[in-house]
């Protein structure tokens, strides 16, 4: 799960999902990109990292 810390589109939803997953002790990856919004500068590196994990 990735989000820009200034994301006003999905930021609150992601924060709520993160809290719920933590409460239920569900393992997940989370990364917050400082100073970024809901934009490609968040998704591009997140996608690259995901694909690397997928094909490990």
Mean pLDDT of successive 10-residue segments in the chain (56 residues)? 95 95 97 96 96 91
Place of tokens 């939803």: 13
- Per-residue pLDDT at 56: 83
The number of folded domains in the chain is: 1
Q: Which residues contact 23 (CB under 8 A, 6 or more apart)?
A: none
The rounded distance, in Å, linking the Cα atoms of 54 and 31 is 17
The rounded distance, in Å, linking the Cα atoms of 16 and 52 is 27
- Per-residue pLDDT at 44: 96
Domain that holds residue 47: 2-54
CB 18 within 8 A of CB 46: no
Secondary structure class of 33 (helix, strand, coil): strand
- Per-residue pLDDT at 3: 96
């Amino acid at each position: 799960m990735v989000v820009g810390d200034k994301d006003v589109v999905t930021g609150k939803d992601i924060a709520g999902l993160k809290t719920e997953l933590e409460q239920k002790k569900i393992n997940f990856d989370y990364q917050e990109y400082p100073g970024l919004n809901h934009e490609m500068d968040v998704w591009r590196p997140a996608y690259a990292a995901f694909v690397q994990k997928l094909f490990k």
